[in-house]
Structure 1
Amino acid sequence: MPATRLAVGGLDPWFVAFGRAAVAGLLAITYLAFVRAPRPTRRQVTRLAIVALGIVVGFPLFTSLALTTQTAAHGAVVIAGLPMATAVWAVARAGERPGRGFWLASGAGFVAVLGFVATTGAVSGGLELADLFLLIAIVLCGLGYAEGGALARELGGARTVCWALVVSMPVTVPVALVTVDFSNAGSSSWFGFAYVTVISMFLGFFAWYAGLARGGVAKVGQVQLAQPILNLTWSAFLLHEPVGWLTVAAAAAVLTCVVWTQRSRS
């Protein structure tokens, strides 16, 4: 979220969303050629298209649009619902059946995150269009995580995200070329764009989908509960903003809930 906020500060949000996917697609082609990955089957291509809809197009686009008018801290409030959305899609698409203890732990972690961001002043004002964008991003991203995590059991984490990027290139490349505008882009915008391209859109998914495939989409997805707190922690590290005792307490509560979800039965 902070990197996306930096990127849209000087670049068109549509370019940030589709440009990062287009460049990551070129990296994906290089990787697939290097490892000589076999082509996915027709059924797998259909599932890869669902993954691409969620993580390549949906989440990057709607978060970029939202962060043109909202802060990364505000976005963290709404994005806190992503672990729960991922768990719901894991039931619908990945065939997982978490037990009652899991849902209690997930709900407790969700409440802890919301309480933390509320008490730190990140919540203000009423519902805005940016919040709607973030809610759409959550639904689509949860779908992409669940479908990709299940598909990674067949293809592996790295090849799943790489093929999803390649499948989406007929859309991402033309949109990126149409929306490109560097006139207002500064060094901070390019830093943010480089991060969301290489890390968020490419390398980060290698580990993420591998983890979802091995540990289960619903359970591993709950690690995302730490995202809002990590947002503020990185802000403190990079921007020298103070981190109080409340941050430490909330982090402990959330991590406790994450451990609880990992120990629950399916």
Structure 2
Amino acid sequence: MKAETKGLWLGLVGIIFFSITLPATRLVVADFGTFPAAFYRATLGGLGALAYLLYLRPAWPNRKDALALLVTTVFIVFGFPLGISVAMTYLPSSRGGVVLGITPLLTALFGALRFGERPSVGFWITAAIGSLLVILYSLWQSHGGLEFADWALIIAAVSASYGYAEAAKLSQKMGGPVVISWVLVMGLVINFPLALYFAFQTPNFLQLAPTISIGTWIALLFLGLVSAFIANFFWYNGLALGGIARVGQVQLLQPFMTFLAASLFLPEPITLVNILFATAVVAVVMIGRKMPIRTVASKSATV
């Protein structure tokens, strides 16, 4: 199997996991609250990552890599989860999934600007068309104007995209699992104290826990251990193997996978319009895969 093909498959598995993130977040913020949900999620992921690093005992990152990891931490561990927690307090997850559909274009943009990937004009056209489709859908849902929660999702999309680009480059050197683990562990410095702070507020965690459903607990565990941690194993390695711009295109499928997840776990039905938009975006992704992408330097990756 070619490295690019393997990267696309790994990226797809990651996107399937990520597509459940918004419905799960809606469940968690409803019971735990907007900000506690974000910090509980990040703390669970950080503790899982810490256990993995203690088991693996990788080499410590050098100063340059540590700085890149810190930048990635700011965007992925704080910008993205806080943005979606705010948004999912007010919006249905299906709408949130569409707004995040702009992420592939931003990921390709950051990859091209930062790391020497040079997509062809045809690639940019297909990426722009796919992103335009999901943006138009979002505007239609909000009756022509983006709301505060939509802006929170845009911040989340920008944060995720830049973080993906930085982490993908580091993954070529350190391996995706190690990169996301260092990122989550760095975030623990802030996330763990804030998680404790929210846990001991009134009503505190112990008072609240018996009132929370099993489904919400499962959703929280999924967000912390799978969405924030394990799913990134697949995603970062996919980006490193297949290229930031190319594999980033797979993310155009995420809004429509989110529709499916929302219909399964929440009372958010799939509509004919959703299906039509999904079909159009899949077609754009298929065309985008055939467009040439030039890289300045050869790559290698660890899986």
TM-score (norm. length: structure 2):
0.80
> CA distance change for structure 1 residues 211 and 35 in 2, over 3 Å: closer, same or farther?
same
Distance 1:239 1:15 in 2: 21
Q: Are residues 1:24 and 2:45 paired?
A: yes
Q: Are residues 1:47 and 2:73 paired?
A: no
CA contact (8 A) 1:14 1:176 kept: no
Residue 39 of structure 1: SS of its match in structure 2?
coil
CA contact (8 A) 1:96 1:218 kept: yes
Q: Are residues 1:89 and 2:110 paired?
A: yes
2:258 aligned residue: 231
> CA distance change for structure 1 residues 223 and 169 in 2, over 3 Å: closer, same or farther?
same
Residue 214 of structure 1: SS of its match in structure 2?
helix
CA contact (8 A) 2:72 2:183 kept: yes
> CA distance change for structure 1 residues 241 and 66 in 2, over 3 Å: closer, same or farther?
closer
> CA distance change for structure 1 residues 101 and 54 in 2, over 3 Å: closer, same or farther?
same
Q: Map of 1:34-183 to 2, 5 A cutoff? A: 34-115=55-136, 122-124=141-143, 126-180=145-199, 181-182=204-205, 183=208
> CA distance change for structure 1 residues 170 and 43 in 2, over 3 Å: closer, same or farther?
same
How far apart are residue 87 of structure 1 and its match? Answer: 1.3
1:209 aligned residue: 236
Residue 117 of structure 2: SS of its match in structure 1?
coil
Distance 1:84 1:259 in 2: 15
How far apart are residue 260 of structure 1 and its match? Answer: 2.1
2:32 aligned residue: 11
> CA distance change for structure 1 residues 40 and 81 in 2, over 3 Å: closer, same or farther?
same
Q: Are residues 1:220 and 2:247 paired?
A: yes
Residue 264 of structure 1: SS of its match in structure 2?
coil
Cα offsets for 1:121-169 (capped at 9, x unmatched) = x434743221221121111111101100111101111111001111221
Cα offsets for 1:13-42 (capped at 9, x unmatched) = 222212211121111121122222111111
CA contact (8 A) 1:11 1:189 kept: no
Structure 1: which amino acid aligns with 2:224? Answer: T
Distance 1:105 1:75 in 2: 22
Q: Which moved more, 1:52-61 or 1:12-21?
A: 12-21
Count the aligned residue pairs.
264
CA contact (8 A) 1:7 1:191 kept: no
CA contact (8 A) 2:94 2:258 kept: yes
Structure 2: which amino acid aligns with 1:160? Answer: V
Segments of structure 2 that go 5 or more residues without pairing to the other structure are 1-21, 294-303
Superposition RMSD in Å? 2.1
CA contact (8 A) 2:181 2:229 kept: yes
Distance 2:123 2:66 in 1: 32
Distance 1:253 1:18 in 2: 36
> CA distance change for structure 1 residues 142 and 32 in 2, over 3 Å: closer, same or farther?
same
Structure 1: which amino acid aligns with 2:131? Answer: F
Distance 2:212 2:156 in 1: 27
Structure 2: which amino acid aligns with 1:223? Answer: V
Structure 2: which amino acid aligns with 1:197? Answer: G
Segments of structure 1 that go 5 or more residues without pairing to the other structure are none
1:193 aligned residue: 220
